[in-house]
Structure formats: structure tokens, C-alpha cells
Amino acid sequence: MGSDLIMESPEKSNCHQSLKEHQLACKQQLQQQLPSMNNKEAECLVKLKEMVREEKSLKGCCFKDEFLLRFVRSKKCRAKLSLDTLKNYVAVRREKYPTFFANFCPSSVRHVYESGMVRVLKNRDAYGRQVFVFRTDKWDPEVADLDDILKVFLLYCEEMLNSEETQRAGLVLIRDYESFGLSHMRICPPGQIRKACNMFVNSFPSRYKAAHVIRNSYLFHILFAMAKPFLSQKLKSRFLVHGYDLDSLHSHVSPEILPDWLGGKLDDAEAFDTKLEELVFKCENYRSSSNF
């Protein structure tokens, strides 16, 4: 009776051994260069770099290890999902919206920064997450369109993801819909909502942990209905609508880190991260710093 055991050839065995030794050497080298990485992250980064080299759609791209590590951490060390997100990140910038990214620099949207419409809290929440605050009452639709606002969010995110803690813990958004009206709705057609989702969902290396909606009218639900087809069930479940109940918001984000107009205990100077804003403006060309 024949044996079911199939012996591997010495050449093939040696090849596997050499590959494992090479991957181990690469992992050790990466951990020396980026000591904040744990073993699982280093192993995934080695795999991702190998997959990037084989990916035709990424030919000609040159990515720094620190940049790729953002994708590894955002996808919890799943190499295939990290690669898919990276491919989408590049495609959004190269193919889908090249005009949008042709002038992707802070000076082009300085008016949005100066309005105080989009800001980031100085202190993290109880889970170590950075918190965006978007104020619609500061939004003049005749001065800033939706593209301007998307650029500001993306520029902030690019800078915030230099933080290892943010890469792991993720981001939270507080969206105050006070004074949101038909003039704002007119510059938020379905195509623009789809663009926003394409830029942030499955094409950006960030973990979106919660979106808190306050002081909203029925118009928010129209916007959300337009966005839902582009959101996963998990993301949809992370939209929490509080209306005018700030106590409900405070059950998720402590008033200890919030400005007084959100029922918090701080004034704006204490609540918001002006140093982060300065860092954003130091890098005028984020497109060139992305290495592709």
C-alpha cells in the first residue's frame, strides 16, 4: 500500500527556510529602525512591503516605512486590508480626484482654519483618541465650500497620524449642526457626499471610533441618508445623534476636556490644540511628502 506522505525536496525546503530567514532579518531591522513597533506590527509591515513591491497599481511609488506603518495599525495588522487601503489612498489622489489634490496645501484653506470651523481638542478622550470639533455656525457657505472643509480635515488627519497613539487609538468627531440650513445643503449634493466618503472610508489609514452629532435638524438625516450607501454597518452604528442633550454627549466625551459652549469646563484657549494647527502649516506640500 502506497504511502500518503509526500516528501518535500531539499531545494524547496531550503528555499522556504531562506525566505523565513529573510523575513526574520527584515523584521529585526525594522524593529531597530522603528522601536515603537511590536512583533505583530513588524511582521505585518514586512508582508505589506513585499505585497507593495508586487502590486502593479503601485509601481513607481516609494513609501517610507513610517508611512506604511499607519496602514498596518489602522487595519490591526491585516496585511491584505492594509494593502487595499493603501491602493485606494493612492487611487483617490492619482485617479479619482487629481484636481482636488493638485493644490493640497494649508495655505489654500487658511480661511477655514481662521474661521474656527474645524478644530481639534488639546486633550484626548478617556480612550486616548484625538477629538475633532466641527462648528456649522462658523461655516459661511459663500466663503468655504465642501471641498475646502474636506481639505482641512485631511490635512489635520495627515498631521495627527504622525502620532503613534493616534494611529492605534483612532479619532472621534463632534459635529455641531447649529445654524445648518438650506444654503449649506445646496453645496452638499450627493456627488460631494460620495467624494467625502471615497476619501475617508477604506482609503485613509485612520480608525474612526465615533461621530457625535449635536443640535441637529431634519437636514442632518437627509445628509446621512445620502452617505449611508458608502458606509459599512460598523461605521453607521458609530454615528451617535444627541440632539440638544449635551449630557448625552458628556457620557461619551468628558466635559473636562470640552469648551464651555459644548457644556464643558474650558474656554477655547484651554480646549483647542493651537500647536497642532501650527504643525499643519509648517508642511506646505503634503502631496509631495506622501512619496508618490
Return the domain boundaries, the chain.
100-285
User: Strand 130-135 relative to strand 118-120: parallel, antiparallel, unpaired?
Assistant: antiparallel
Q: What dihedral angle (degrees, nearest 10) is formed by the CA atoms of 132, 136, 140, 142?
A: 90
pLDDT for res 165: 95
User: For residue 246, with 0-12 CB atoms within 10 Å meaning exposed, 13-18 middle and 19 or more buried, which class applies?
Assistant: middle
> What whole-number distance in Å separates Cα of residue 22 and Cα of residue 28?
10
pLDDT at 103: 87
Q: Kindly report the CA angle at 106 between 104 and 111, in degrees rounded to 5?
A: 120
What pTM was estimated for this model as a whole? 0.86
Mean pLDDT by 10 residues, the chain (292 residues): 45 50 59 74 94 93 93 96 97 94 91 94 97 96 96 95 94 97 95 95 95 96 96 96 98 98 97 92 64 58
Burial 119-137 (b: 16+ CB within 10 A, else e): bbbbebbeeebbbbbbbbe
CATH of domain 100-285: 3.40.525.10
